[in-house]
A and B are shown apart, each in its own frame.
Chain A
Amino acid sequence: MIAPASPPPTSARDTILARIREALRVPAPVPHVRSHSAEQAVTPKAGGLPALTVLPAEVAKPWLPDGGDTPAERLRIFMENLEKLRAVPRRVPNLQSAAEAIASLAKERDWRRVAGHAHPLVEPVLANLPCGVERVDGPAGFDKNALEACDAGITACDAAVAQTGAILVSSRTCGGRGLSILPHVHIVVLRADQVVATVGDALHAARERAAGRMPSMLSFITGPSRTGDIERILVLGAHGPKELFVFLVG
């Protein structure tokens, strides 16, 4: 008998995808769900196998924590959540007063160096500072050692989320990846109309802004860095900023 030729070597990718297809030939039962609207989402596909249209965010929204229906409500919930997260929210009437408040903070804390990026909400603040300023924007890159030595980083944000008290920053519009995480203090300056209701709303807006190409990093920042790893006791400032100041303009 002639030994059969050994099969051609298959790539790990092909093997795994073949295993997945083989595994899914037997359908799994559709999960038991309680809600009527969720049941409606379970619709049979043309092929006969039960398929599921994923619940649109609009269906799930009324079940998740409230993000507010009006701008005033969203602002109130957002500020409350920031307090609970131990961030420091400040409402200011205009950008000038934000710049003054941040300058006096720098003086009071004796900051030597502060980092920021090019943005209409950030530049006036940087210009008004009594200390050295490190700029991290632009494709040329910057020295991460210099950023590490900064006392504070000042950024704008893409959106703020009332539902969770989160700030959404991106690597494209908020000074890259390092600025909002490496300095010991993070200061965010935003307009009151940037506050959206839910995480889903913020992600939808980000997708629209991205126009087909998402920034390489999008990050929800929900309060100052924290850990509970030692005896489950909350400590602020594990590796990221110990303090998060949020200046709401307007």
Chain B
Amino acid sequence: MTQLLPHPETDYPVVMLAKTQFLKDAAAHVRDSGHRAFVRKALGGYYTNRDLQKARYRDWEHARDAASLAKWSAVNRLDELLPRFVANFEANGGQVHWARDAHEARTIILDLLRAAKAKAIIKSKCMTSEEIHLNAAMEKDGYGVVESDLGEFIQQLRGEPPYHFVFPCMHVRRDEISDLFGRHLGSAPTDSPEELTMIARRHMRRLYVDADVGITGANFLVAETGQISITENEGNARLTAALPRVHISISGIEKVVENLDDLSVLLPMLATAGAGQPMTCYNTLYSGPRQPGECDGPEEMHLVLLDNQRTAILADPEQRDSLHCIRCGACLNVCPIFKNVGGFTYGTTYQGPIGSVITPHLRGLADWNHLSGASSLCGACTDACPVRIDIHHHLLHNRRNAARTAPSRLERLGHRLFVVAARRPWLFAAGGAMFRRSLGLLKALRPPLLKDWLASRDLPAAPASSFRGQWAARSRTRHPD
């Protein structure tokens, strides 16, 4: 009956059930008030800046409509727009490689590295590469790779995956980073974020110049012009795509937008929703390798287009809009669950509400449906989403689908008993009375079924009479016949 971590592509040893791990980590993180306070404080500035920038929109809600329609129209015409994008990209001299799954994508990239005789690889932030566990595969084949995004670099040195898919090391304190840099780079200890950033900057500059292959992600693929749009703040993606001889970009097939008009709406909204900025520092469109007459740039540009179950989401019209996601991370930043259990607890590439929606599609509903249960359904994620994905309803859809495909016997029995009682008022009343009397006993006995629930919660005191009893008494005093 036990199913192990089902992601078939991972080369990592299987440790335990995804759900068991989730419950264990969630319980540990929820009790770690220091971690919670730290994450909340780190997000405090984000809320202020996001609201300030949203106020600069003449109508944020209508802008969300425009962004949502742009993505809806692209995803629902993917059959037409994806080939159009590819044709235009190839016409500009870029080479496209299609990958059905993570294994195929890794094979393609390793072949490209071999063909390029890669010696030094520099990489900018790319969640798709995390999804296919690219770094582990490259290192296994003997290729050294350096993550250039500051947060990703810190996580690489720590040997951890990103904590948050936009803010990879938001859980790490500056003194931990100072120790880390001291150990790996031999730098003097400091408690200044500015000085720490400069240590990484100095370390990285030679690596950009010496790298022969640069690997980046992609935020949008523009069908009209065959350009790839990359959004960043640090300039590391710009350098990664400027100096090495070969540029490899990895993108999910759902990143297509139709034209530059759509992009002009999505770029500012991505920055505002994701980081509270008017526009991120660098938004760059690449149409291919260096052209005749240009003085620098890579000789080759390759784009790996990844399916990896995205077409399975596309085949579900109810949840198709989860492919509209532009990975801004706004839903994580507002999610009460994320803020309490933290990013690692999810055990997924994509954390938070959107991760809970799409991971069951990417890795199997049976083993990842518990993420959809870890939600208060408050809808903060749906409100925050710049492209109006109906995130919290999709969490409900996942719960429904899981109940349909693999119903829990215990839940079924519970519901059956309830139906029996609800149809017989006398039984309902008797059951209620019994429950009220035994509440104190339950508290004292802590039966195994309730143990986990009682570990962090207290049972309320039972009222003296049932709701129906109270209602009847109230009606008698208010409206005495």
Q: How far is the CA of A22 from the CA of B261 in the complex (A)?
A: 29
Chain A binding surface SS class: loop
Is B9's beta carbon under 8 Å from chain A? no
Q: Is the pair B233, A226 in contact by a Cβ cutoff of 8 Å?
A: yes
Query: Which A168-216 residues have a C-beta within 8 angstroms of B?
Result: 171-172, 175-178, 181-182, 198-200, 203-204, 207, 213-216
Given contacts A216-B294, A229-B149, A232-B45, are A64 and B268 in contact (CB under 8 A)?
A: yes
Q: Residues 329-360 of chain B: 1 if any A CB is under 8 Å from the residue's CB, otherwise 0? A: 00000000000000000000000000000000
Give how many A residues have a beta carbon under 8 Å from the other chain's beta carbons. 98
Closest-CB distance, A22 to chain B (whole angstroms): 7
Q: Is the pair B168, A229 in contact by a Cβ cutoff of 8 Å?
A: yes
Q: Is the pair B205, A148 in contact by a Cβ cutoff of 8 Å?
A: yes
A165 contacts across to B, CB distance below 8 A: 278-279
Query: Which of A1-9, A26-34, A123-131 is found at the contact surface with chain B?
Result: A26-34
Is B242's beta carbon under 8 Å from chain A? yes
Is A72's beta carbon under 8 Å from chain B? no
Is A94's beta carbon under 8 Å from chain B? no
B251 contacts across to A, CB distance below 8 A: none
Q: Is the pair A64, B63 in contact by a Cβ cutoff of 8 Å?
A: yes
Q: Is the pair A220, B283 in contact by a Cβ cutoff of 8 Å?
A: yes
Given contacts A23-B311, A164-B268, are A172 and B294 in contact (CB under 8 A)?
A: yes
Q: Is the pair A24, B295 in contact by a Cβ cutoff of 8 Å?
A: no
Is B321's beta carbon under 8 Å from chain A? yes
B307 CB contact (under 8 Å) in A19, A42, A136, A214 = A19
Shortest Cβ distance from A207 into B: residue: B260
Query: Which A197-250 residues have a C-beta within 8 angstroms of B?
Result: 198-200, 203-204, 207, 213-233, 235, 237-241
Is B369's beta carbon under 8 Å from chain A? no
A239 CB contact (under 8 Å) in B234, B260, B288 = B234
Shortest Cβ distance from A16 into B: residue: B307
Is B82's beta carbon under 8 Å from chain A? yes
Q: Is the pair B234, A240 in contact by a Cβ cutoff of 8 Å?
A: yes
Q: Is the pair A35, B294 in contact by a Cβ cutoff of 8 Å?
A: no
Closest-CB distance, B238 to chain A (whole angstroms): 4
Closest-CB distance, A170 to chain B (whole angstroms): 9
Q: How far is the CA of A53 from the CA of B65 in the complex (A)?
A: 13
Shortest Cβ distance from A32 into B: residue: B388
Given contacts A20-B311, A239-B239, are A38 and B69 in contact (CB under 8 A)?
A: yes
Is B296's beta carbon under 8 Å from chain A? yes
Closest-CB distance, A130 to chain B (whole angstroms): 25
Query: Which B235-272 residues have a C-beta within 8 angstroms of A?
Result: 235-236, 238-239, 241-243, 253, 258-265, 267-268
Closest-CB distance, B262 to chain A (whole angstroms): 6
B100 CB contact (under 8 Å) in A15, A137, A138, A217 = A15
A-B CB pair tally, cutoff 8 Å: 339
A232 contacts across to B, CB distance below 8 A: 42-43, 45-46, 167, 170
B98 contacts across to A, CB distance below 8 A: 11-13, 16
Q: Is the pair A34, B62 in contact by a Cβ cutoff of 8 Å?
A: yes
B243 CB contact (under 8 Å) in A178, A216, A222 = A178
Shortest Cβ distance from B169 into A: residue: A229
B226 contacts across to A, CB distance below 8 A: 214
Is A51's beta carbon under 8 Å from chain B? yes
Q: Is the pair B57, A230 in contact by a Cβ cutoff of 8 Å?
A: no
B194 CB contact (under 8 Å) in A15, A229, A235 = A235
Shortest Cβ distance from B152 into A: residue: A229
Given contacts A35-B62, A225-B234, are A171 and B307 in contact (CB under 8 A)?
A: no
Closest-CB distance, B141 to chain A (whole angstroms): 21
Closest-CB distance, A222 to chain B (whole angstroms): 4
- A24, A213, A238 — which one has the most chain B CB atoms within 10 A of its CB? A238
Q: Residues 198-232 of chain B: 1 if any A CB is under 8 Å from the residue's CB, otherwise 0? A: 10110011001100000000000000011100000
Shortest Cβ distance from B75 into A: residue: A28
Is B33's beta carbon under 8 Å from chain A? no
Q: Residues 305-319 of chain B: 1 if any A CB is under 8 Å from the residue's CB, otherwise 0? A: 101000110110110
Is B297's beta carbon under 8 Å from chain A? yes
Q: How far is the CA of A200 from the CA of B224 in the complex (A)?
A: 14
Q: How far is the CA of A56 from the CA of B226 in the complex (A)?
A: 19
Provide a sorted-by-A list of 21 A–B residue pairs whose CB atoms are within 8 angstroms: A12-B100, A16-B98, A19-B307, A38-B65, A55-B262, A55-B265, A60-B62, A60-B261, A60-B265, A148-B209, A177-B242, A200-B260, A203-B260, A214-B225, A216-B287, A227-B233, A228-B167, A230-B193, A231-B170, A231-B193, A240-B281
Q: Which 8 pairs from chain A and chain B are nearest by CB?
A: A240-B235, A200-B264, A238-B234, A177-B242, A229-B151, A23-B315, A19-B311, A23-B314
Chain B interface (Cβ within 8 Å of chain A)? 42-43, 45-46, 56-63, 65-66, 68-70, 72-73, 75-79, 82-83, 92, 98-100, 104, 148-151, 154, 167-170, 172-174, 177, 193-194, 196-198, 200-201, 204-205, 208-209, 225-227, 233-236, 238-239, 241-243, 253, 258-265, 267-268, 275, 277-297, 305, 307, 311-312, 314-315, 317-318, 320-321, 388
